[in-house]
Structure 1
Amino acid sequence: MKLGVMTVCLSSLSLDEACRYLKEQGVQQVEIGCGGSPGTAHCDARKMAGDPAAADEFAATVAKHGLTISAFAVHGNPLHPDQETAGTAHAEFEAAVLLAERLGVKTVITFSGCPGDCETSKYPNWAVATWPEDYEKIRRWQWEEKLIPYWKKAGAFAKAHHVRVALEIHPGFCVYNVPTMLRLREAVGDAVGANLDPSHLFWQGVDPVAAVHALRGCIYHFHAKDTYIDPYNTAVNGVLHTSGFADTAARPWLFRTVGYGHGAQTWRAIFSALQQAGYDGVISIEHEDALMSQKEGLEKAIRVLRDTMIFDAPTADVYWA
């Protein structure tokens, strides 16, 4: 496994400055936002798709610092009921795939998307309740009429360009847990896999170690981000309370830098499970800790990961056996 960082948290720095800083911290790979919610501070896939010289200059900047690109991140909602929003997300996704192909990057990360509840909807409808029965009707329509058809085509596009799609398992979108990830993969094939981020699993009550084992063979990327569950706020409000991310004192859970939600032993268990599952990709830090500055959060996460990650392939010679 390799130590990486999603550079979005360093958007105030130029790409050159960000790469120099990360190399000094011992980082090996970078995940680059190139559209959608990660923004375009360091890379704009749509612009670079029509400007090969700019794409090559971008790649050279990363390479001169001894770094490689783990993935392009273009998180959006291509199934949004607003056609303009959906169209933009789709165009950014396709541009990211073409840029990845040009630069030899094998992974593009995005969300699965979330449609509305019918053709005339204005907003997405994340229908996860069991009852009333209306929600099951919504889910069936979303999956059969929107989600599966879209990803059959988008996945085929990515595969034709030698790129795989890592869907971030994320509440608010159709793929939000292990069963939904596996269901979509079964329907559309191995063009899609998981960008596994434990922070989105912790607050749902999912054990990331169990998730890794269940997703063996289809984990294409990994985000290192932690979540702290506040026992007092949760006891009163439950985990579905909707106070804003900036209202840190009221939230039942908070995204935290690695080690500030769960201890080192939890992360050692996650990386051991990844090793058993045959994952040899990046462990990419995504910094979204509202209680720390970007650099402090990154540097603390890097220290924890250096101590808990497994960098080498397992020994082939089990001499003690």
Structure 2
Amino acid sequence: MKLGVFTVLLSHLELDDMLEYVSNRGLEAVELGTGGFPGNAHCPIDELLEDDQALQSFKAKIDQYNLSISALSCHGNPLHPQKQISEPNDELLTKTIKLAAKLEVPVVNTFSGCPGDHEGALYPNWPVSPWPHDFQEVLKWQWEEKLIPYWKEKNDLAESYGVKIGLELHGGFSVHTPHNMLKLREACGPAIGANLDPSHMWWQGIDPVESIKILGRENAIHHFHAKDTIIDQGNMNRNGLTDMTDYSQMKDRAWYFRTVGFGHDAKTWADMISMLRLMDYDYVVSIEHEDGLMSIDEGFAKAVDTLQPLMVKESVGEMWWA
């Protein structure tokens, strides 16, 4: 397994400075944004797609720092009911799949998207209750008319380029649990899998170790994010897990993100790393830093210090004791 970082937290640095910073921390991989919510500070997608010389120079620069690219990420909502939002996100996803193939990057990360509730809708509709039954009707329409047709097409496109799609299971989007991840995969194809982020499991009340087991048995984990979450039970009792309090108002939120090790202890993270290996995931653990209490440098350094001793580098091979 390799330890890496989602470099959006270092968007203020030029590419060379970012790569040097990451390499000096002893990391082995970078996850690069190509646009959408992560931006494209380190990966000028149009230039790299159109200019082979620029592409080769870019690859050489990554190699120069003894790093690999774990994934290209273009998180957005390609199913937003407003076309001026959905169409650029859809185009970006297609471009990112094509660039991943050119760079020999095996995974593209994004969100599943969330449609509206009918063809004339203006905003996404995220049903989270089975009753009143209106919500069931909305959910059925979204999956049959929007999600499955769209992601079946994207599964086939990704397969044709030899690329996998890692959907981040994130609240506010249609695919946010292991159950609906596997539902979409079954309907659309095996190129669709999870970019599993335990921070979004915790706040939904899902045990991340069990989510790894559920998805891993189906070979449905394509990428893994390392981000922590803390639950403020007092605020949870008041606001519930679907808390709409702004992220900046941390004192009043039911839950908020922390750097690795500051929401859950090292043993919990060791259990996740071990379960990933048990489920045959032998790829990158990519640090994502969104801690509202720590600077980028401090939060990132603490995440690295927590995770580096836990990474499983060598498979057991033959069980010599049995």
TM over 0.5: yes
Matched, 1:319 2:316: no
Single out whichever of 228-237 and 292-301 deviates more from structure 2.
228-237
Structure 2 CA distance, aligned partners of 1:40 and 1:221?
19
Matched, 1:209 2:209: yes
Contact 1:105-1:163 at 8 Å conserved across structures: yes
Q: How many residue pairs get matched?
A: 320
1:269 CA drift (Å)? 0.7
**Residue matched to 2:255:** 253
1:193 CA drift (Å)? 0.6
**Residue matched to 2:275:** 273
Contact 1:4-1:282 at 8 Å conserved across structures: yes
Structure 1 CA distance, aligned partners of 2:142 and 2:321?
53
1:295 CA drift (Å)? 1.2
1:54 CA drift (Å)? 2.4
Structure 2 CA distance, aligned partners of 1:18 and 1:282?
18
Matched, 1:74 2:74: yes
**Residue matched to 2:27:** 27
Deviation sequence 1:246-285 (CA, Å, 0-9, x none):
1111111111100000001111111111111000010000
Matched, 1:310 2:312: yes
Report the identity percentage. Answer: 47
**Residue matched to 2:94:** 94
Structure 2 CA distance, aligned partners of 1:53 and 1:36?
25
Task: Report SS of the residue matched to 1:279.
Answer: coil
Structure 1 CA distance, aligned partners of 2:96 and 2:239?
40
**Residue matched to 2:170:** 170
Structure 2 CA distance, aligned partners of 1:155 and 1:195?
15
Task: Please list every run of 5 or more consecutive structure 2 residues that lacks an aligned counterpart in the other structure.
Answer: none
Alignment map for 1:219-258 (pairs within 5 Å):
219-258=221-260
Deviation sequence 1:57-97 (CA, Å, 0-9, x none):
22222111110100000001111101121110011111111
Structure 2 CA distance, aligned partners of 1:261 and 1:300?
12
Structure 2 CA distance, aligned partners of 1:92 and 1:240?
29
Alignment map for 1:264-303 (pairs within 5 Å):
264-303=266-305
Q: What is the alpha-carbon root mean square deviation over aligned residues?
A: 1.0
**Residue matched to 2:55:** 55
Residue type matched to 2:63 in 1?
Answer: A
Alignment map for 1:116-127 (pairs within 5 Å):
116-127=116-127
1:235 CA drift (Å)? 2.3
1:45 CA drift (Å)? 1.8
Contact 1:55-1:99 at 8 Å conserved across structures: no
Structure 1 CA distance, aligned partners of 2:58 and 2:294?
29
Single out whichever of 243-252 and 69-78 deviates more from structure 2.
243-252
Structure 2 CA distance, aligned partners of 1:166 and 1:43?
18
TM-score, normalization by structure 2: 0.97
Structure 2 CA distance, aligned partners of 1:94 and 1:137?
30
**Residue matched to 2:130:** 130
Residue type matched to 1:260 in 2?
Answer: F
Structure 2 CA distance, aligned partners of 1:120 and 1:177?
27
Task: Report SS of the residue matched to 1:102.
Answer: helix
Residue type matched to 1:222 in 2?
Answer: F
Structure 2 CA distance, aligned partners of 1:116 and 1:44?
31
1:236 CA drift (Å)? 2.2
1:48 CA drift (Å)? 2.4
Contact 1:226-1:255 at 8 Å conserved across structures: yes
TM-score, normalization by structure 1: 0.98
